[in-house]
Amino acid sequence: MKVSVTVNGRQVDADVPDRTLLVHLLRDVAGLTGTNVGCDTSSCGACTVLLDGRSVKSCTVLAAQADGRDVTTIEGLADGTGEMHRVQRAFHAEHGLQCGFCTPGMVMASISLLAENPSPSEDEVRSALEGNLCRCTGYHNIVRAVLAAAGED
Amino acid sequence: MIPSLFTYQRASSADEAVQLAADGGEEAKFLAGGHSLLPLMKLRLATPEILIDIGRIADLSYVRADNGHLAVGALTSHDDVARSDLLARELPLLAHAAGQVGDPQVRHCGTIGGSLAHADPAADLPAVMLALDATLVARGPSGDREIAAGDFFTGLLETALQPGELLTEIRIPRPAAAGWSFQKFTKRAIDWAIVGVAVQGGNVALVNMGSMPLRAGAVEQALAAGAAPREAAAHAAEGTSAPEDINGPRAYREHLARVLVARALEEAGSRS
């Protein structure tokens, strides 16, 4: 089917098989490979993107379900000058990543959290990241990074 | 993993969805948030040939107070149910339990109607519907009909919905007794419940203690006869047929049910 999705402000038009998953539209059609496929079973959260501003796991959303809607991926966060988003800067400053595979999903889930709750407690950050797994087990610094980013506001 | 081939259709109203389903026959399935169905389709455990996307039927996403009951549109997301001020005030059990489903990403997509129609015995909300004495409204080619929650769940992943019938609304009476609790035991935060318990007043319902959600009838009878919470909870496993799986044998789930029912009744008592 024909889909038209606004990805990071840019319109992506494609004629894809009906069963195409959003993550494959992003990676294979739009060429945005920052969104990772981890477990592919909606458990790990590595494929998290924002759909109309709210975090979703793009391995469990059809491209057709995103037709006509806004998607933001990790590539869409830095501003026009290349200045990183405050959550990206906080992950950098707090060493909130080790191998980096979960990081795009962690950052997108964190941005969704901060949009809903600009001043989360540590417990609220941990609850909000329940859907994102870090197999390096770098959770403490990830939580610190999200709290630091919230404090920047 | 991608699902096997299917044809995608999109409905813009409940009536159009029912018509598309009638046209599609047995090969058609409704797609709401997709967070139960798409994972099954990737594993080839479900292989519908036609998917009817009902996710954009905006007028099936609402929470409102109607005459004597609360009404929740079937396509209201778990996140919207969890954040509803009206439900937090009037049906805190439902608002709280919806906030415990999956994780934030799942709650942004998943819908209350999708969860109920999917009828996974390990899902949280079917048992909550039993505890709240909910009524489910289904629309078919010949109109709307009401189904009591106690009659809705008929077996493993099976409901009283007829092929082509669309769940449109959940109606819940204002609870007569205020005390409530929801308990869920999982290994990891995002996992399905190994066992769960929903309590509203003297109603006690169990998650994952059989092939469908169950009322803990023996517990309810003991409570009605004046038993203390821990005495009543000792009956929690009676009449159940808990599954045996990687999470443990039946006896383990029966033990968990007794422990969780006791905690739930004590918490509900503290809120009444």
In a domain, B2, yes or no: no
Q: Using the 3D structure, point to which of B173, B191, B206 is the last residue of a domain.
A: B173
Instruction: Pick B3's closest partner by Cβ from A19, A42, A128.
Output: A19
Of A76, A108, A128, which marks where a domain is finished? A76
Residues A35 and A64 in one domain: yes
> For the whole model, what pTM was predicted?
0.96
Alpha-carbon torsion (A15, A21, A23, A24), positive or negative: negative
- pLDDT confidence of residue B232: 98
Residue A72 and residue A90 in one domain: no
ipTM value: 0.96
d(CA B97, CA B184): 9
- In whole angstroms, give the CA distance from residue B236 to residue B197: 10
Same domain, A9 and A60: yes
- Cα–Cα distance for residue pair A121/B188, rounded to 1 Å: 21
Three-state SS letters, chain A? CEEEEEECCEEEEEECCCCCEHHHHHHHHCCCCCCCCCCCCCCCCCCEEEECCEEEEHHHCEHHHHCCCEEECHHHCCCCCCCCCHHHHHHHHCCCCCCCCCHHHHHHHHHHHHHHCCCCCHHHHHHHCCCCCCCCCCHHHHHHHHHHHHHCC
Which one of A76, A104, A126 terminates a domain? A76
- A58: domain range? 2-76
| pLDDT surpassing 90 at residue B1 | no
More confident residue, B272 or B268: B268
Total domain count for chain A? 2
- Whichever domain contains B21, its CATH number is 3.30.43.10
For chains A and B, CB pairs below 8 A equal 81
For range B104-126, the mean pLDDT? 97
Which of B117, B152, B173 lies at the terminal end of a domain, its last residue?
B173
Q: Closest residue of A to B1, CA-based? A: A40
The answer to whether residues A33 and A90 belong to one domain is no
Whether A115 maps to a domain, the answer reads yes
Q: What is the DSSP letter of B5?
A: P
Domain that holds residue B73: 59-173
* Residue where a domain stops, chosen among A56, A76, A96: A76
- Closest-CA residue of A relative to B79 is A54
Residues A68 and A27 in one domain: yes
Q: Are residues A61 and A121 in the same domain?
A: no
pLDDT band at A153 (very low <50, low <70, confident <90, very high): low
Amino acid identity of residue B135, one-letter, is T
Q: What is the pLDDT of residue B166?
A: 98
Same domain? A71 vs A121: no
Whether residue B8 and residue A57 make contact (CB cut-off 8 A), yes or no, is: no
From its phi and psi, is residue B214 left (phi > 0), alpha (psi between -120 and 50) or beta?
A: beta
CATH assignment at residue A146: 1.10.150.120
Average pLDDT over residues A3-8: 98
**CATH number of the domain enclosing A49:** 3.10.20.30
User: Do A11 and A71 belong together in one domain?
Assistant: yes
Label residue B67 by pLDDT band (50, 70, 90). Answer: confident
Residues of B with CB under 8 A from a CB of A: 1-8, 10, 31, 34-35, 38-39, 42, 51, 53, 55, 79, 102-106, 108-109, 189-190
Short-list B41, B42, B46, B57, CA closest to B9:
B57
Q: Are residues B160 and B213 in the same domain?
A: no
Residues A103 and A122 occupy one common structural domain: yes
| Residue A81 domain flag | no
Which pLDDT does position B188 carry in this prediction? 86
User: Measured over all CA atoms, what is the biggest interatomic distance in chain A, rounded to whole angstroms?
Assistant: 44
Q: Is the pLDDT of residue B56 over 90?
A: yes
Q: Determine, yes or no, domain membership for A58.
A: yes
A12 and A63 co-located in one domain: yes
What's the CA dihedral at A91, A93, A97, A101 to 10 degrees? 60
End-to-end CA, chain A? 42
Q: Report pLDDT for A150.
A: 97
The answer to the question of residue B1 being in a domain is no
Residues B84 and B31 in one domain: no
Q: Please tell me whether residue B162 adopts helix, strand or coil conformation.
A: coil
Structure tokens at A120: 């989360």
Are B108 and A60 within 8 A, CB to CB?
no
Over 80: is that where the pLDDT of B128 sits? Answer: yes
Of B173, B195, B225, the domain-final residue: B173
Query: How many domains are there within chain B?
Result: 3
What is the domain-level CATH number for residue B204? Answer: 3.30.390.50
